[in-house]
Structure 1
Amino acid sequence: MSKGTLYIISAPSGAGKTSMVKGLTADDTDIVVSTSHTTRDMREGEKEGVDYHFVNQQEFLSMVDSSAFLEHAKVFDNYYGTSQKHVEQQLLQGHDVILEIDWQGARQVRKQFQDSLSIFILPPSSEALKERLQNRGQDDEEIINRRMRDAVNEMSHYAEFDYIIVNDDFDYALQELGSIFKANRLRQLQQERKLENLLIELLK
């Protein structure tokens, strides 16, 4: 069985990363999204173990001490972390695994998984990003302004990523995202593992 590929997808808050990942995984059952642990409160409509594993700060820091996380970071006064054991199990089962993490987490993961691929999603403009944050109706103006400031810092790290997608037209951006996964599966090394028996038969 061919081992899966680890994908890192990052974006500023409001760029549409979560919607794009949901659209991608709805059509491709070979892709799984790693469910992060977080200390932030559960939002309306979210489910434990689906959107996040919700834990308190003491539980989270205990997991940090036991080296349970592949990466972890503090964002907007809350902690987020990725379970290393879960990611490695999914990759060995042949699944492509997506990590939705920020640039700090991406740096940590790349040190351990040098063959991972990273994708950065940009909004079409600063105005569009602010409008999307306002339309979500989740935050007051002060928090939105803070997210906009943090977005500039997040986007300044775009050059550390392998691919860049601009989420202007959602359907088109989703097609671009899917093309990255499809192209990677056709790389020589990936195909050699998958087509081992065929290659042996053809090269007799």
Structure 2
Amino acid sequence: MAGILFIISAPSGSGKSTLVNALRSQLGGLDFSISWTTRQPRGSEQNGREYYFTTREEFERMIAAGEFLEHAEVFGNYYGTARRSLDDATAAGRDLLLDIDVQGAQQVRQKIPEAVSIFVMPPNPKVLRTRLRNRSRAEGHVDEAVLKLRQDEASKEIENYRQYRYILINDVLERAVAQLEAIVQVERMKQDGMPLDPRTKRELEIAEGCREVNSRERLRPVLESFGIDPGDGPHQYPLL
């Protein structure tokens, strides 16, 4: 049986990478697609671990050859997911996790509407600013103009939250990890038709609490802190 395609998106500085690493350490059967990029490695990043680093010319050749499932240009650099990642996971019957931005997620949903999409939010702009600054310090360079640009971009990305099936607010790491794990487990149970027992019933409650359609009041203060109207607009995913 083909596996499940999970999409996870978040503004830069939301702690998404930490969540993904924790999930992968706790759950098996989950492949991770390493994205391609034309940006330079940061800090201790290694080619083939965080990203496949390549030239702009090579990336554009891959675009022309149709080798990407999705790609986008962000802050002057290309990022993309190779189709080979999905083909390999499908052939092995394993789940695949894509760590991609909102542009890439939209492209993938158009091609694979059954993909399970998850959006991670920081709890407020102050926390986001602190995380971005700490990351920049760890990389050895703090550029206030770049930090401001990334924070402004975060608000624009968060406006797309209704396009995602599940929403996580990454304020308490342990809770966010537990929610992410519950989402993956519940989606696996649904696909496999597994019956509910006391443990799986609790995971279902956690996952359902993260559904975008069930998160209106929980999200309201976060959205308002970023200057986003939490009005009652249309939902991408109906309540099942």
State TM-score, norm by structure 1: 0.90
What secondary structure, in the 3-state scheme, does the structure 2 residue paired with 1:64 have?
A: helix
Question: One-letter code of the match for 2:181?
Answer: G
Distance 2:95 2:157 in 1: 25
Query: Which residue matches 2:71?
Result: 72
Question: One-letter code of the match for 2:178?
Answer: Q
* 1:169 and 2:172 aligned: yes
Asked whether the equivalents of residues 6 and 91 of structure 1 are also in contact (C-alpha less than 8 Å), the reply is no
Query: Which residue matches 1:123?
Result: 122
Q: Deviations over 1:81-114 (max 9, x none)?
A: 1001221211231211111111110110011111
How far 1:29 moved relative to its partner? 2.2
* Residue pairs, 1:180-195, within 5 angstroms: 180-187=183-190, 189-191=191-193
Q: Which runs of 4+ in 1 moved over 2 A?
A: 189-192
Query: Which residue matches 2:48?
Result: 49
Asked whether the equivalents of residues 72 and 79 of structure 1 are also in contact (C-alpha less than 8 Å), the reply is yes
How far 1:190 moved relative to its partner? 2.4
Question: One-letter code of the match for 1:162?
Answer: R
Question: One-letter code of the match for 1:135?
Answer: N
The one of 181, 185, 206 aligned to 1:178: 181
Q: Which runs of 5+ in 2 are unaligned?
A: 195-240
Q: Deviations over 1:128-154 (max 9, x none)?
A: 111111111144111000000100111
What secondary structure, in the 3-state scheme, does the structure 1 residue paired with 2:12 have?
A: coil
Query: Which residue matches 1:12?
Result: 11
Q: CA RMSD in A?
A: 1.1
Distance 2:85 2:187 in 1: 22
How far 1:30 moved relative to its partner? 0.9
* 1:106 and 2:109 aligned: no
How far 1:47 moved relative to its partner? 1.3
State TM-score, norm by structure 2: 0.77
* 1:34 and 2:30 aligned: no
Question: One-letter code of the match for 1:191?
Answer: G
- Higher RCO (CA < 8 A, seq sep 6+): 1
The one of 144, 147, 156 aligned to 1:144: 147
Distance 2:47 2:64 in 1: 23
What secondary structure, in the 3-state scheme, does the structure 2 residue paired with 1:97 have?
A: strand
What secondary structure, in the 3-state scheme, does the structure 2 residue paired with 1:186 have?
A: helix
How far 1:75 moved relative to its partner? 0.7
Q: Which runs of 5+ in 1 are unaligned?
A: 193-204
Distance 1:85 1:129 in 2: 33
How far 1:44 moved relative to its partner? 1.9
Percent identical pairs in the alignment equals 38
Distance 1:110 1:99 in 2: 12
Query: Which residue matches 2:95?
Result: 96
Question: One-letter code of the match for 1:190?
Answer: D
Residue-pair matches, total:
190
